Structure formats: C-alpha cells, structure tokens
Amino acid sequence: MKRYDIAVIPGDGIGQEVVPAAIEVLEAAAEIHGGLAFNWTHFPWNCEYYLEHGRMMPEDGIATLRGFDQIFLGAVGMPGLVADHISLWGLLIKIRREMQQSINVRPAKLLRGLQSPLREPKDFDLIVVRENSEGEYSEIGGRIHSGEDQMAIQNAVFTRKATERAMRYAFELAQTRRNHVTSATKSNGISHSMPFWDDVFQAVKADYPATASSSIHIDALAAFFVMKPHQFDVIVASNLFGDILTDLGGAIMGSIGIAPAANLNVERQYPSMFEPVHGSAPDIAGRGISNPVGQIWTGKMMLDFMGYPEIGGLILNAIEAALSDGVKTADLGGQATTREMTDAILRHLRKQS
C-alpha cells in the first residue's frame, strides 16, 4: 500500500463545499485501485484566518507545506472581508512562487453530456501549458507622480530558463497525446520579449523533430479557440496569455465551474498544488449548489501527476457519465445540488470497478 500525505486548503466560499466532495471521490478512487491511500491534513488558511491573525497563513506555513507530497486547494478570496490582492498574494501566489510551481496546466475538453456555448462544436481536447512564474506577472515596476503627470511602469520578465522549461514540458506532454505544440506569441507587437520567446521556441522544437508545431499570434489564437478549438493539442503560452486563454477554454467547455488546473513543480523537489480554475464564488457560497466537477477533475489531475492515470481516467469517465444522465448543477442549467452531483459521480465511479 502506497500512502500519500496531502495538505488540504479548502480556503473560502465554495472551496469549503467542493473540496470535501472531491476528497470523497478521491477516497473512492483509491479504494477501487486498492494499492493507494491518502492522509489528508486540513489547514484553515483563508480570509477569516486573516481577520483573526493578520496574515493568510502562519509564518512557517510554507515550511509546513514542504513536508507534504501534494497540496489540494479549493479557492481563496472573500472580497467583502479582505482585499483580493492581499488574499491572493498572501496564500495562492506565495505558494506557487515559493514551491517553484513554474508551470500551470489547464485542459479544456468537450465533455460528454455537456452543452458547449459553441454552436455544433467538433470534439475538442486541448491543454494549455502556461508559464507560471514570471512573464507579464512580475512585481517589477512602480508608479510615480500625481494628477496629470501620473505614470506607471510594469516590466515583463522572460528568462531563458523558465521559457525553455515551459516549452519543453509542452513538447513532452504532446508526445503522450496527439503530438502537436502551438506557441502563443505576439512578436509582431511586442518587440523584445516575444521575439525572444519565438527564438527559444525554435531552439526547443529542434530537439523534438517528430513533433509538429506552429506559432500563432495570441489575438488570432483566441479567435481560433472559438472557431476551431478541435485543431489544437498542446498550447504553450506566457503567464498573461495563458491566463486569458484558459478562461476562454473554460468558457467553451460550458462553465468555469468544471475547469481544472494544476500548478506543477516539474522537478518534483517541492509539492505541486492542484486547484480548479474557478474562485470562491461568494455569490452562491453556503447554499450547497456549487458545481464540484472542477474540483473533482482537479483531483484527477493530481492522480495523473502522481502516476495513476488509469484511475484518473475512471474519474473523468464517471463525471461524463453523470452529466450524460442529466445530473447538472445550476451553473450548467440543472437543479442538482453539490451533494447530488457528487453522489452521481460516485455511483458511476463505483460501477466501473
């Protein structure tokens, strides 16, 4: 029996509802596998914790988390209580940076049983590999002067190391799929960092001669996500481009409530963190109607990363089977509660064992 220590941070709002649901599904999956077990350790770090302690996590929080195999997170943010930049940078971004989770992986796939907002979509199944540590989301810059002299400068940072790491990850991933990598660029408008990005892409792709590749400007790429998403396999993008593309990826699937994500420390020196794309949804929190699918699919990604893609696959099958039965939460146009959606997935999961 292999045991894994997982740090659980449900966080705020619906994180408190969907994380327990996903843990139930992961427990059932482990039972089906038979050779795998989880120790879940819960941490109450969220906006209420901040109001009590003046910080989102204890001073030794990062050191504590380093002792775990993986981190399973719901969502953080309660804008009515704590400003978003404090809750985000004090927990989520802090963990991503200090654990060197330099790559963010976000799939978008047409699920069986779900209505995409696209009219007659062909079967799409793509993965965006987003550089997660630098790029446009750097802290370098500042603001000076006031009144009409006001100005702001924000510097984007692209290092050879991080750019190459994201691209290599994309090529390796493509080799396990349909063997095509698309680079999201904008070297026609951004004259230093994006030509650099293109140069690194050319150099990396030379090491993967059997993998097809293309380079597309981000504006055109966004349009193609709507017009012909089925043409893409793996897309590698900078931090900002990847962020925007993946919300679009969630949208063409049918709801942000189903989109999963993983923040990977690819060197496996520190734990990786698995969290859905959606936030804490304060508008529906506490009513038991949130969609657990994003969090459950995120759990599947954790299993994949840990080396159990077969049972990860069973989870995705169970999700699609439940949706095909017509069990849907309100965000998907149905009436199922979080409990009912979770139960339907559990039922289909156990049926496959």
Write the interaction track for ligand NAI spanning residues 13-42; mark x where CB under 6 A is met and - where it is not.
-x---x------------------------
Region binding ligand NAI by CB under 6 A among candidate stretches 29-37, 162-170, 241-249, 286-294? 286-294
Position among 135, 294, 299, 312 found at the interface with ligand NAI (CB under 6 A):
294
Position among 131, 134, 275, 304 found at the interface with ligand NAI (CB under 6 A):
275
Q: How many C-beta neighbours within 10 Å does residue 196 have? A: 16
Q: Which does 243 bind (CB under 5 to 8 A by kind): Mg ion, ligand NAI, none?
A: Mg ion
List phi, psi (to 5°) of 233: -115, -85
Q: Number of residues in contact with Mg ion, rule: CB under 5 A?
A: 1
**DSSP assignments along 81-105, one per residue:** TS-HHHHIIIIIHHHHHHTT--EEE
Q: Which does 280 bind (CB under 5 to 8 A by kind): ligand NAI, Mg ion, none?
A: ligand NAI
Residues 57-86 binding ligand NAI (CB under 6 A) are 75-77, 79, 84
Question: Considering the rule CB under 6 A, would residue 92 count as an interface residue with ligand NAI?
Answer: yes
Residues 126-165 binding ligand NAI (CB under 6 A) are none
| Integer Cα distance of 3 and 330 in angstroms | 36
**213 with 177: CB under 8 angstroms?**
no
Question: Considering the rule CB under 5 A, would residue 275 count as an interface residue with Mg ion?
Answer: no
| Integer Cα distance of 251 and 128 in angstroms | 14
**162 with 102: CB under 8 angstroms?**
yes
Region binding ligand NAI by CB under 6 A among candidate stretches 111-119, 217-225, 235-243, 279-287? 279-287
List Cα–Cα distances, 122 to 100, 119, 139, 225, 227, in angstroms.
Answer: 36, 9, 40, 12, 10
Residues 215-254 binding Mg ion (CB under 5 A) are 243
Region binding ligand NAI by CB under 6 A among candidate stretches 2-10, 125-133, 289-297, 318-326? 289-297
**Gyration radius of the chain's alpha carbons:** 20
Beta carbon of residue 350, minimum distance to ligand NAI (angstroms, whole number)? 23
| Integer Cα distance of 42 and 32 in angstroms | 24
Question: Considering the rule CB under 6 A, would residue 48 count as an interface residue with ligand NAI?
Answer: no
Residue 204 φ/ψ region, left for φ over 0, alpha for ψ in the -120 to 50 degree band, beta for the rest = alpha
Beta carbon of residue 74, minimum distance to ligand NAI (angstroms, whole number)? 7
Region binding ligand NAI by CB under 6 A among candidate stretches 102-110, 118-126, 139-147, 283-291? 283-291
Question: Considering the rule CB under 6 A, would residue 93 count as an interface residue with ligand NAI?
Answer: no
Beta carbon of residue 246, minimum distance to Mg ion (angstroms, whole number)? 7
CA-based angle 86:251:297, to the nearest 5?
75
**221 with 262: CB under 8 angstroms?**
no
| Integer Cα distance of 162 and 118 in angstroms | 34
- Site for ligand NAI, rule CB under 6 A: 14, 18, 75-77, 79, 84, 88, 92, 256-257, 275, 278-284, 290-291, 294, 329, 331
- Site for Mg ion, rule CB under 5 A: 243
